[in-house]
């Protein structure tokens, strides 16, 4: 299995089979689970825009905190907090899965309390509505799609943590879903910061999102000459010369599914009855509904 496909499958916990030549039997992992963590310098974030668009980056939950001002600090983790975390992980490691008839670990299902499921449905619907709003950045569509899956995953993790802390039944309560959505909100803000840096490395993506923002402020529609749009559009991603704008504009619209571009021709009667034709364009921002 290609290495990229392995990680994409592992994220979904899809069964993974490795059949090597010379081995008597294929190796199969029925429910893979891999946890990865790492760091990257902000200065090299733009290099991520050069990688394959296979959705791998969208699967990471990101943190991009503000830089810390150098200097002495007395703040530190207290011994009480360290002991509490150590005890928590000790209790968590003490919980074991059952076994199936082959002696393999048997995953245990955790159910949602009736009110928790209602909160989950509302959370998922609100998340989907956000992605359908006019002007939603296309560069975030993939990561927002994966964050929807993390709503359930984080609810599960928080439910397990709470059950240990409170010595309660292993069940997902409404409070767990609410806490999960607070974390999702944080990861959304961080994703916007990270993907802005990556998006800005691609001028077409940046121009497409700047166009969407302009249209959002004008009721979703714009009509006029390309040179007029060039002068009205506040964007660091547009070309330096207006005669290069038309080609770049069309390429950028293709990268934003909610943008449409149409050409129009208008007859103009000049002095002494002469008639000419001028080219107009119409841009529309679809609602996404």
Residue 45 lies in a domain: no
pLDDT at 289: 47
Query: Which tokens sit at 91?
Result: 């209790």
Contact between 192 and 234 under an 8 Å Cβ cutoff? The reply is no
d(C-alpha 208, C-alpha 34), whole Å: 36
Nearest to 228 by CA among 276, 12, 218, 26: 218
Contact between 248 and 204 under an 8 Å Cβ cutoff? The reply is yes
Contact between 287 and 220 under an 8 Å Cβ cutoff? The reply is yes
pLDDT at 55: 81
Place of tokens 């790492």: 38
| 116 and 193 together in one domain | yes
- pLDDT tens figures, 178-187: 999 999 999 9
Give 147-185 as a DSSP string.
HHHHHHHHHHHHHHHHHHHHT--S-B-HHHHHHHHHHHH
**Where residue 200 falls among pLDDT bands split at 50, 70, 90?**
low
Nearest to 144 by CA among 159, 115, 124, 160: 124
pLDDT over 70 at 176, yes or no:
yes
Give me the residues paired with residue 179 across strands. none
| 239 and 181 together in one domain | no
Tell me how many domains the chain contains.
3
Percent residues over pLDDT 90 in the chain: 31
- pLDDT tens figures, 139-156: 788 899 999 999 999 999
> Which of 8-12, 247-251, 279-283, 285-289 is least confident?
285-289
| 194 and 155 together in one domain | yes
pLDDT at 3: 60
pLDDT at 14: 86
| 197 and 229 together in one domain | no
- pLDDT tens figures, 35-75: 888 898 888 887 877 767 778 888 999 999 888 888 888 88
CA distances from 197 to 42, 123, 192, 210, 258 (A): 9, 28, 9, 14, 22
| 183 and 267 together in one domain | no
Q: Rounded to the nearest 5°, which phi and psi values hold at 281? A: -125, 150
pLDDT at 131: 86
Residue 220 CA, distance from chain mean position = 24
pLDDT at 273: 64
| 184 and 135 together in one domain | yes
Mean pLDDT across 235-261: 86
pLDDT over 60 at 2, yes or no:
no
Residue 48 lies in a domain: no
Residue 13 lies in a domain: yes
CA distances from 214 to 18, 74, 103, 137 (A): 51, 47, 60, 13
pTM score above 0.85: no
Contact between 204 and 144 under an 8 Å Cβ cutoff? The reply is no
Percent residues over pLDDT 70 in the chain: 92
Average pLDDT, the chain: 85
3-state class (DSSP) for residue 214: helix
pLDDT over 90 at 86, yes or no:
yes
Of 31-40, 83-92, 206-215, 253-262, give the range with the top mean pLDDT. Answer: 83-92
Residue 134 lies in a domain: yes
Domain extent at residue 252:
220-285
Please state, as a whole number, how many other Cβ atoms lie within 10 Å of the Cβ of residue 25.
Answer: 7
Residue 271 lies in a domain: yes
């Amino acid at each position: 299995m290609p290495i990229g496909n392995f990680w994409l499958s592992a994220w979904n916990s899809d069964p993974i089979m490795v059949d090597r030549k010379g081995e008597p039997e294929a190796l199969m992992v029925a429910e893979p689970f891999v946890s990865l963590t790492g760091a990257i310098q902000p200065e090299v974030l733009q290099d991520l825009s050069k990688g394959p668009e296979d959705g791998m980056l969208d699967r990471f939950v990101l943190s991009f905190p503000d830089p810390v001002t150098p200097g002495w600090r007395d703040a530190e983790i207290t011994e009480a907090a360290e002991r509490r975390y150590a005890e928590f992980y000790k209790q968590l490691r003490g919980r074991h899965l059952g076994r199936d008839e082959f002696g393999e670990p048997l995953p245990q299902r955790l159910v949602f309390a009736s009110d928790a499921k209602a909160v989950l449905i509302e959370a998922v619907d609100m998340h989907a509505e956000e992605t359908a709003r006019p002007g939603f950045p296309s560069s975030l569509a993939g990561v927002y799609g994966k964050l929807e899956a993390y709503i359930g995953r984080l609810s599960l993790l928080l439910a397990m943590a709470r059950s240990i802390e409170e010595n309660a039944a292993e069940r997902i309560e409404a409070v767990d879903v609410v806490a999960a959505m607070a974390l999702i909100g944080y990861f959304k803000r961080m994703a916007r910061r990270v993907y802005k840096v990556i998006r800005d490395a691609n001028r077409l993506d940046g121009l497409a999102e700047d166009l969407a923002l302009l249209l959002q402020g004008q009721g979703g529609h714009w009509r006029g000459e390309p040179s007029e749009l060039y002068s009205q559009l506040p964007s660091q991603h547009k070309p330096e010369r207006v005669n290069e704008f038309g080609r770049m504009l069309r390429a950028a619209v293709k990268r934003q599914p909610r943008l449409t571009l149409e050409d129009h021709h208008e007859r103009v009667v000049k002095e002494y009855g002469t008639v000419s034709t001028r080219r107009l364009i119409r841009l529309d921002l679809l609602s996404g509904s």
